Amino acid sequence: MDFVILSLVMLAIGIYGLLTNRQLLKVFISVELIATAATLNFVMLASALGVGLGQALLILAFSTDTAVSGVILALLVIVSKKYGTSDISKILQTIHDKDESEVEA
């Protein structure tokens, strides 16, 4: 069952990317990586055991993954249009500056 280690490595890379990347699109790719790791483990375990149910349940996992991707991309478009950047640090800085100027006013 070599695939368990492979999915663990993929999960670790995805979580590391989620925590360290400041680009919203890279964060989205990290989420995709984590979803891929879960799917890999799930489907390959079912295939190794010879159970067809694993692939059937994969469709459910894919629909959830697609829905999550759609929502993340919609939010990404809105945030990028509003702040003019997809860098999380710059967005937080803009929000911080705006709050400070409101307090001063």
Partner 1 sequence: MIFEILAVGLIISAVLALFLDEVIYSVAALAGIFFFTALIFIEYNAIFAAIFTFSVGVGTLAVLFLSGEMLGDKPTKKTSPKRVGTLIGVGAVLSLPAIFLSVSGSSGTNSDLLFGDALWNIRGLDVVLQAFVILTVALGIVVVLYEKKKKGGQ
| DSSP for 32-94, written as a single string | HHHHHHHHHHHHHHHHHHT-THHHHHHHHHHHHHHHHHHHHHHHHHHHHHHHS--BHHHHHHH
Q: Considering the complex, what minimum distance in angstroms separates the CB of residue 11 from partner 1?
A: 10
Q: With respect to partner 1, which residue has the nearer C-beta, 59 or 103?
A: 59
Q: Write down the residue that tokens 């590391």 correspond to.
A: 16
Other CB atoms within 10 A of residue 59 CB: 9
Residues that bind partner 1 (CB under 8 A): 1-6, 8-10, 13-14, 16-17, 21, 23-26, 28-30, 32-33, 36, 39-40, 43-44, 46-60, 62-67, 69-71, 73-74, 76-78, 80-81, 85-87
What gap in Å lies between CA 75 and CA 54, rounded to an integer? 31
Q: Considering the complex, what minimum distance in angstroms separates the CB of residue 42 from partner 1?
A: 9
Query: By the 8 A CB rule, do 42 and 54 touch?
Result: yes
Q: With respect to partner 1, which residue has the nearer C-beta, 93 or 100?
A: 93
Q: Considering the complex, what minimum distance in angstroms separates the CB of residue 49 from partner 1?
A: 5
Q: With respect to partner 1, which residue has the nearer C-beta, 16 or 100?
A: 16
Q: With respect to partner 1, which residue has the nearer C-beta, 55 or 96?
A: 55
